[in-house]
Structure 1
């Protein structure tokens, strides 16, 4: 028994020594930063931009409405992919505006988060967030890892822009282009909508429902959510139509008036449909916000919007194929706990939205 005890003690001491040496080498290894411009960027509808992390082409600056152009500088839905055997991953970035909101966490507004591909679970797994400090932030997101090759994805800020981004790995490691074609880039899902679709009010970028759906579908999703400005601008339809998508999602109802829907909805639809006659186009109802169970005026307005959408969809359905309609009945949940302010989704609301949309997208894409 004494021999077994001594052997066990020796084994434990050896393991402890190994871990200590591993952590010493981790501390000794300096962080070296690499410009993220060298690595693939996902979730961008157009490459016709001078700046990298923006969502609308330069050609629209003098054409589209000023608020729409300003919001297009936000990096919502974008992610950078790379692989490395580093024992630590750091991120260094500069926010465009250093923006803050009173109902959304700064990590979601202008922070980043990091995911790793788990080959055994065959899914993306969250590692940690990079919390923003001032306009410029440098953050070690994870450290003291075993030095093995892993595939990573960095999700970018939802309600601010990214002026520059660098990925830090230790000096004893390598950083390379991703080997896995994940999320798949062919037949992208292009989603158009409001502040909720842009990501309000997810606690961190990866919890915006477009990013949740991208991970579940393992397919690139393009986020064209414009907070308070989804007014069916035809310029946005043109940008969407330029993408060879597997499906288009139109989730604009919370921002428009009945008059705007009557005037613009079919033309907006036609701009996309004329270039993609067989691609599924999905219309999404206005969520039934919690306050409308008590606010009679709000309930009446919401009902008119959804009734108009349903009627116009039925008119299109008489002659159009490959169009789909999604009820918002279960978006927030029967317990009504899915929002931060009776409108914008918490992480719970984002997950519930994704739960409704995932089977629809999975079916039409397949």
Structure 2
């Protein structure tokens, strides 16, 4: 072979090598991750399937309810990946579409990405429907390629999933996230709750709320068979919920409304036998043609009158934490439904927005006089933020803490539990908290909005702490004004106070930071002036970490932000009097 031919052959081989597409690795989520199906409550009993009720209740519910419980409405798979292309293939148990609801809603899936700052983004995929349904999400891009994003894959609303696999290029990561141990919001309802007639799963109102409020949701919508039956209330009572939403009126209109009063009162009593969880009763959302059809109006208003009668009776009994949502609060108009009964995507969005307002009122997530801070997760640092949050929820359930420290990496790197690979102040921590039951709720890179999210999502629930120390704000210095930071810390204090009314709250001023000394001093002065002394104690540790001229003492920090061992020792000396006071 002459030199020319040799070079041409070599170039062809090299070009062919580069043109070979990456091989796809396919993974079955049911096999890869225990408790990996989100929105599924009885995971210990429903292993290896995408269904909503366990086999043991088969004999307790009607066949129609049971068959609908095989649908995967409200179920999702959460995973982390940095793949430029994600493929999903699966099979379903029933027909692909309805006359009024497309295949993408009945049998399709929906993918959303969460970036490193907690922002949610929809992903568009190319799809084909047949015996095997296939979705391909191509040209996915990332702010940080190595870290990737967290993905949320919603499953079909009105079909059962027989099998499912997710594929990514073999050199990319695919790591599944187990379901949260946070208490869920439980929705018991009709076809509207199940998802009819959303164009795709992510547009069902329950999934919108799950995505935007980020509370786990158990969807027990059973199409035309959500009818306030006692067997279903017994099943609901098995769930240790954050909130029960009872939304069955669209199935009990007209003559069927005769059962509403008794079934509602008895159902609430069943729930109250086991739980003090808030309960939201929801009126019929109405028919969007009722102004041209008086019989339609009479039928749904009759149902709503019976529900209101039951609600008033329960309130008169003294049942606590029971709430009511009216047809007017849901607020659908003539353009919000597909055929006058089931919401379109526009109606689903309106459902979600107005339900969210009500849920926030009930859970006190909107009573903090909302500032610029929208609660959200984050994954800016190299540790697993979500794993640390879940670990804290589990630890709090196993052993209730007496003292909490809520903060960012400054608190995170100090010491204590949950343990962490970086510990810069172990001796100071151990001496300060010797013999005390303490939990470290510090998260590296957390901002005010991230701490607010953690408070809303269970880190202060289910126990009564004696003392809570709050040290937040330094990570907001580059993106927020002084006034915004002060208002945000006040918002955190109010959120803490509602969930821990008996705890003594200590707000620590922002620590000195290289190049930001004057600004931090101004923020701390504003905090001290505006925080109410009868509600909390302000603690300023800046003097002990600064030079006589007021500027940061760099010898007490590792990098101009994080204290070293001596810095933590000095912090402990200041905090000792507060930790030990009665």
Give TM-score scaled by structure 1 length: 0.87
Which residue of 1 is the match for residue 357 of structure 2? Answer: 359
Shift in Å at residue 354 of structure 1?
0.9
Shift in Å at residue 332 of structure 1?
4.6
Deviations 1:234-288 (A, max 9, x none): 22222221111110000001102222213322222222221112x1100001012
Q: Point out the more displaced range, 89-98 or 48-57.
A: 48-57
Q: 2:281 aligns with which of 283, 289, 293?
A: 283
Note closer, same or farther for the CA distance 1:184–1:217 as it changes in structure 2 (3 Å cut).
farther
Q: 1:32 aligns with which of 16, 25, 33?
A: 25
Which residue of 1 is the match for residue 202 of structure 2? Answer: 206
Which residue of 2 is the match for residue 54 of structure 1? Answer: 51
Which residue of 2 is the match for residue 313 of structure 1? Answer: 311
Aligned residue runs from structure 1 range 1-366, under 5 A: 28-37=21-30, 38-39=32-33, 40-47=36-43, 48-49=45-46, 52-120=49-117, 122-129=118-125, 131-143=127-139, 145=141, 147-148=145-146, 149-178=148-177, 185-256=181-252, 257-277=256-276, 279-318=277-316, 319-334=318-333, 336-366=334-364
The answer as to whether partners of 2:187 and 2:217 remain within 8 angstroms in 1 is yes
The answer as to whether partners of 1:330 and 1:352 remain within 8 angstroms in 2 is no
The answer as to whether partners of 1:190 and 1:223 remain within 8 angstroms in 2 is yes
Shift in Å at residue 355 of structure 1?
1.1
Shift in Å at residue 102 of structure 1?
0.4
Shift in Å at residue 295 of structure 1?
1.1
Q: Structure 2: how far apart are the matches of 1:150 and 1:223? A: 26
Q: Structure 2: how far apart are the matches of 1:130 and 1:360? A: 36
Which residue of 1 is the match for residue 571 of structure 2? Answer: none
The answer as to whether partners of 2:127 and 2:136 remain within 8 angstroms in 1 is no
Paired residues, number? 337
Note closer, same or farther for the CA distance 1:27–1:364 as it changes in structure 2 (3 Å cut).
farther
Which residue of 2 is the match for residue 19 of structure 1? Answer: none
3-state SS of 2:328 partner: coil
3-state SS of 2:338 partner: coil
Shift in Å at residue 26 of structure 1?
9.2
The answer as to whether partners of 2:127 and 2:134 remain within 8 angstroms in 1 is no
Q: Structure 1: how far apart are the matches of 2:68 and 2:262? A: 24
Q: Structure 1: how far apart are the matches of 2:207 and 2:214? A: 10
Q: Point out the more displaced range, 55-64 or 143-152.
A: 143-152
Q: Structure 1: how far apart are the matches of 2:138 and 2:329? A: 36
The answer as to whether partners of 1:107 and 1:132 remain within 8 angstroms in 2 is no
Shift in Å at residue 126 of structure 1?
1.1
The answer as to whether partners of 2:281 and 2:325 remain within 8 angstroms in 1 is yes
Q: Structure 2: how far apart are the matches of 1:26 and 1:50? A: 41
1 or 2 for the larger relative contact order (CA 8 Å, sep ≥6)?
A: 1
Which residue of 1 is the match for residue 385 of structure 2? Answer: none
Note closer, same or farther for the CA distance 1:337–1:245 as it changes in structure 2 (3 Å cut).
same
> Cα RMSD over matched residues?
2.0
Note closer, same or farther for the CA distance 1:289–1:27 as it changes in structure 2 (3 Å cut).
farther
Note closer, same or farther for the CA distance 1:215–1:64 as it changes in structure 2 (3 Å cut).
same
Give TM-score scaled by structure 2 length: 0.56
Q: Structure 2: how far apart are the matches of 1:364 and 1:70? A: 33
Q: Structure 2: how far apart are the matches of 1:220 and 1:123? A: 17
Structure 2 gaps of 5+ residues are 1-16, 365-582
Q: Structure 1: how far apart are the matches of 2:361 and 2:27? A: 39
Note closer, same or farther for the CA distance 1:172–1:137 as it changes in structure 2 (3 Å cut).
same
3-state SS of 1:29 partner: coil
Deviations 1:129-161 (A, max 9, x none): 564511312331233546432111100000001
Deviations 1:277-309 (A, max 9, x none): 2x1100001012112111111111111111111
Note closer, same or farther for the CA distance 1:141–1:269 as it changes in structure 2 (3 Å cut).
same
